[in-house]
């Protein structure tokens, strides 16, 4: 599948597909697109020759904009820009994240307002095609003037400098370019600024975070259905008439999915308990907040993805230089601060459901810690006791990371960047919260698989499930062994998290 750049609006799903290598980025070959790119580059070249004063081209950057750069040195300036920004730190972004970052930068530059050459766009296209992945440290961006420091590693790699990975092997960028018959770029005067001065890192990460959160919302709903069944709960809490009285669409969607899973609701069975505890009864109200927010957040992220967000912008039609602040990542900061809060609440919900299921005082007839051991051996087996502790730890860390990054603006760069977005930190936080919540979800998959098996062994058995939930339990049974004797669960948890992150199970949509 090919995804065209410069031919229309891109979606989160496009960036996610490119990040997984399920699609190929292709620059538009439409004459209108190539003409706009060329006219922008030609205008800049002519303006440089005629007037010689262009911000970031014949001036310094940021607070140094009053420093004039001799025209004869303008060609060197972009290389100095990515060189002195080579001060990132921390872990490197992984392969999937790096592809998303490259795709997001290509999307912005393909809007045709950055004054870059077609050759620069083609080099980015080639990096995605050959999977040449710059090593980009995660730390060092305040999210305005864009993702300068992390994107300096992209600019440097395009020019054959610093390190990249190809097929998982680290090598000098120059070596990787030579391997694929590519030449290092010599950046034109504004091109270093165009690559680095934008929101590509936070936006690429936001696309991945949104997709994972959307899947997690459905998975948490399926887990909730199985938690209700395993605890012999009351599925009539999700009655359609009940939810018609509170018309939040996302909340109603979650309740509808639970009705699709819990066949007992149609028979009237298991209504002997008037009200289950909140983590079961109010699950649609918790998951539903995320469901209702996802469409809005998708629009916010995709608007940023489809924006020209460097500075200055170049209007090739009216031949104007437009100085502004589109590098400011406030919308992505808000989206990611919001998303991490919503996702952490899912972790908390699942953790509370797990606490009920492993506690013999609240699980309505199941053994303590859902231990499958019987007879004399029951005394030395502990079931899921430690798993519940781990899930609680992951939940606590997820909740701790919900502190909004966007409120920690710092004045930087001699007070030129005196109000910054912190969007990239917010996006990194969101990915960490997602990882932790996916781990909690994996723990709950073990729990509901164990709980359903034990419920089947009771006198009354388990409530009947509808086809989708029933098939899902069958799939879990093949991946998760029944825990009769104590077992180290780390391998199965890692396998389950991998399945969650690859979206291995088809759920509702």
Q: Catalytic site residue 55?
A: yes
d(CA 94, CA 188): 29
Catalytic residue among 55, 113, 278, 362: 55
Express each pLDDT in 458-482 by its tens digit. Answer: 988 999 999 999 999 999 999 999 9
Q: Is the CA virtual torsion 31, 3, 208, 119 positive or negative?
A: negative
Query: Cα separation of 266 and 456, whole Å?
Result: 20
Q: What is the pLDDT of residues 90-125, one digit of tens each?
A: 999 999 999 999 999 999 999 999 999 999 999 999
Per-residue pLDDT, averaged over 161-183, amounts to 98
Q: Per mean pLDDT, which range of 36-50, 164-178, 191-205 is the poorest?
A: 36-50
Percentage of the chain exceeding pLDDT 70: 94
Is the pLDDT score of 272 beyond 80? no
Q: Is the peptide bond before 312 cis (omega within 30 degrees of 0)?
A: yes
Read off the tokens for 292: 């209702």
pLDDT of residue 269: 56
CA 291, 292, 295: angle at the middle one, nearest 5? 90
Of 214, 206, 245, 241, nearest to 330 by C-alpha is: 206
- Domains annotated for the chain, with CATH where assigned, are 2-198 (1.10.275.10), 206-230+290-501 (1.20.200.10)
pLDDT tens readout for residues 41-98: 999 888 877 766 666 666 656 655 556 677 677 788 889 999 999 999 999 999 999 9
Query: Taking all residues of the chain, what is their mean pLDDT, rounded to a whole number?
Result: 94
Percent of the chain scoring above 90 in pLDDT? 84
Q: Could you tell me if 251 and 285 are in contact, meaning their C-beta atoms sit under 8 angstroms apart?
A: yes
Residue 452 burial by CB count (10 A; 0-12/13-18/19+): exposed, middle or buried?
buried
- d(C-alpha 124, C-alpha 359), whole Å: 54
CB count, 10 Å around CB of 324? 12
Residue 380 has pLDDT above 90, yes or no: yes
Residue 438 CA to residue 493 CA, distance in Å, equals 10
Which range among 35-49, 153-167, 349-363 shows the weakest confidence by mean pLDDT? Answer: 35-49
Tell me, what's the pLDDT at 230? 97
* Under 8 Å between Cβ of 391 and 440: yes
């Amino acid at each position: 599948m090919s995804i065209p750049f410069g031919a229309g609006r891109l979606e989160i799903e496009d960036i996610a597909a490119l990040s997984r290598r399920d699609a190929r980025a292709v620059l538009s070959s439409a004459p209108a697109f190539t003409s706009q790119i060329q006219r922008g580059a030609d205008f800049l070249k002519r303006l440089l020759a005629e007037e010689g004063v262009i911000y970031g081209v014949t001036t310094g950057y940021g607070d140094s904009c009053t420093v004039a750069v001799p025209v004869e040195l303008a060609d060197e300036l972009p290389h100095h820009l990515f060189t002195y920004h080579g001060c990132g730190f921390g872990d490197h972004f992984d392969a999937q994240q790096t592809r998303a970052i490259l795709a997001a930068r290509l999307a912005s530059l393909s809007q045709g307002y950055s004054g870059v050459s077609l050759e620069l766009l083609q080099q980015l296209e080639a990096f995605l095609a050959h999977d040449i992945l710059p090593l980009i440290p995660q730390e060092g961006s305040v999210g305005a003037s864009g993702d300068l420091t992390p994107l300096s590693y992209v600019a440097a790699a395009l020019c054959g400098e610093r390190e990249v990975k190809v097929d998982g092997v680290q090598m000098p960028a120059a070596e990787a370019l030579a391997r694929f018959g590519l030449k290092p770029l010599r950046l034109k005067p504004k091109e270093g600024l165009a690559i680095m001065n934008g929101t590509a890192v936070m936006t690429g990460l936001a696309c991945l975070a949104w997709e994972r959160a959307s899947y997690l919302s459905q998975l948490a709903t399926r887990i909730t259905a199985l938690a209700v069944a395993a605890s012999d709960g009351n599925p009539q809490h999700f009655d359609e008439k009940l939810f018609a009285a509170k018309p939040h669409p996302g909340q109603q969607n979650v309740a509808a999915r639970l009705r699709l899973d819990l066949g007992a609701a149609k028979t009237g069975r298991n209504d002997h308990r008037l009200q289950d505890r909140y983590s079961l009864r109010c699950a649609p109200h918790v998951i539903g907040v995320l469901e209702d927010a996802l469409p809005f957040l998708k629009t916010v992220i995709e608007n940023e993805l489809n924006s020209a967000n460097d500075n200055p912008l170049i209007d090739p039609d009216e031949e104007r230089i437009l100085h502004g602040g589109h590098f400011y990542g406030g919308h992505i900061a808000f989206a990611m601060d919001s998303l991490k809060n919503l996702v952490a609440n899912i972790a908390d919900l699942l953790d509370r459901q797990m606490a009920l299921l492993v506690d013999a005082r609240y699980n309505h007839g199941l053994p303590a810690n859902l231990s499958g051991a019987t007879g004399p051996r029951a005394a030395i087996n502990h079931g899921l006791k430690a798993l519940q502790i781990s899930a609680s730890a992951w939940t606590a860390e997820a909740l701790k990371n919900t502190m909004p990054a966007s409120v920690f603006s710092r004045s930087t760069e001699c007070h030129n960047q005196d109000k910054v977005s912190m969007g990239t930190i917010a996006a990194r936080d969101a990915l960490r919260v997602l990882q932790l919540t996916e781990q909690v979800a994996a723990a709950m998959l073990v729990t509901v698989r164990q709980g359903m098996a034990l419920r089947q062994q009771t006198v009354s058995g388990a409530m009947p499930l509808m086809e989708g939930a029933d098939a899902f339990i069958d799939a879990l049974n093949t991946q998760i062994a029944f825990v009769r004797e104590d077992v180290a669960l780390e391998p199965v948890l890692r396998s389950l998290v991998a399945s969650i992150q690859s979206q291995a199970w088809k759920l509702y949509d």
